[in-house]
Amino acid sequence: MATELAHCTQLTPSGRLRHLLTLTDMSRDLIEELLERAESYLRPPGEPPARDPVLRGRTVANLFFEPSTRTRASFELAAKRLGADVLNLDVNMSSRKKGESVLDTIYTLQAMQVDVFVVRDASAGIPELIAASVEPHVSVLNAGEAAVSHPTQGLLDLMTMHQHKGRFDRLSVVIVGDIARSRVARSAVEGLQIMGTRDIRLVAPPGMTPDEKLYPGTTITSDLDGALPGADVVMALRIQRERMTEKAQMMTTHEYHAKYGLTAERLMRATPDAIVMHPGPMNRDVEIAGDVADGPQSVIVQQVTNGLAMRMAILAMVMEARRDR
């Protein structure tokens, strides 16, 4: 349902970006336009960050129903560097009647002339619900939705791979971790398949295997060592420690590292110039060894820089798409 709804509302009649809810219905052209725009916002370290007055006088509300320091900071700085006023709202809401309360909050902020809502929520469907409810001139950006979608993360991951590998079609990508509960994996795979990547290998430890129907055209395995040969990109996902301690049948962080941790030794199975990615924040020496995280193949810090540039590109493009509405 969420995807169907998004299909209707995410793009303007002429195919421009109105909301960003999911990558599923995006065209390759639109993603390429976003990559290009985001790269235009990169600057060498130490130079002042790029600024662009396209959101001057506009208001962006960060509505985080699930806490996040990093993603919130990234959106906040992206909006400020585009000249917007930013409203940060960390909202704790009981789940009862949540949908209704969320919409009343949205209508209230919309009445204060908020132009863009950046929404993170632990339950599925909330960004779509909001997008279906706002006025025509208002945009909704999904900043992380349950295990379903994290489209800005997917786009920054594409951007990072593009910088290092150029093309997507002959890329071999390995993603390892709790695939079943990962919105990062979902959005990365959706984006890669749109861009033409055919060789995607999902490595899921027991109990973390996803529904195959959600990942058509990929290889799903629990054998990391067997999946690595030939990989151009190796992405380790963050492991929720809580999940480990809670479930007695699951392995310890030590066991996880032994079997699924990305170590220097294991990384040697991939191509020599494979890049190492992680969405952060990392559990060092659990899903990724410290020396790999800081090593020459790691592009993890660059992902963060790209994330901010990509969020600027998205904000700028939804504001510019207003002319279509």
Instruction: List residues near its own copies by CB under 8 A.
Output: 43, 45-46, 48-49, 51, 57-59, 61, 69-70, 73-74, 76-77, 80-81, 85, 87, 89, 91, 97, 100-101, 104-105, 107-113, 135-137, 280-282, 284, 301-302, 304-305, 308, 322
In the bound state with its own copies, the residue whose beta carbon lies nearer, of 210 and 279, is 279
State the DSSP H helix or E strand holding residue 308, giving kind and residue range, or none if neither.
helix 300-320
Contact partners, residue 218, CB within 8 Å, separation at least 6: 189, 200, 201, 202
Which of 206, 281 has the CB closer to its own copies?
Answer: 281
Residue 112: CB minimum distance to its own copies, A: 5
Instruction: Give the nearest distance from C-beta 66 to its own copies in angstroms.
Output: 16
Q: State the nearest-atom distance from the C-beta of 85 to its own copies, in Å.
A: 5
Minimum distance between the CB of residue 306 and its own copies, rounded to whole angstroms?
A: 9
Tell the smallest beta-carbon distance from residue 57 to its own copies (Å): 4
Going from the C-alpha of 1 to that of each of 100, 148, 246, 275, the distances in angstroms are 18, 12, 32, 35
Task: For residue 210, count other CB atoms closer than 10 A to its CB.
Answer: 20
DSSP 212: G
Instruction: Give the nearer residue to its own copies in terms of CB position, either 269 or 322.
Output: 322
Residue nearer to its own copies on the CB measure, 237 or 270: 237
Identify which of residues 14 and 69 has a Cβ nearer to its own copies in the complex: 69
- Distance from C-alpha of 303 to C-alpha of 309, rounded to nearest angstrom: 10
Q: Is the CB of residue 126 less than 8 Å from the CB of residue 145?
A: yes
> Measured from the CB atom, is 7 or 137 closer to its own copies?
137
- Alpha-carbon distance of 277 to 20, in angstroms, equals 23
User: Shortest approach of its own copies to residue 104 CB, angstroms?
Assistant: 6
Reply yes or no: is the peptide bond before residue 45 cis, omega within 30 of 0: no
Nearest to 272 by CA among 225, 318, 230: 230
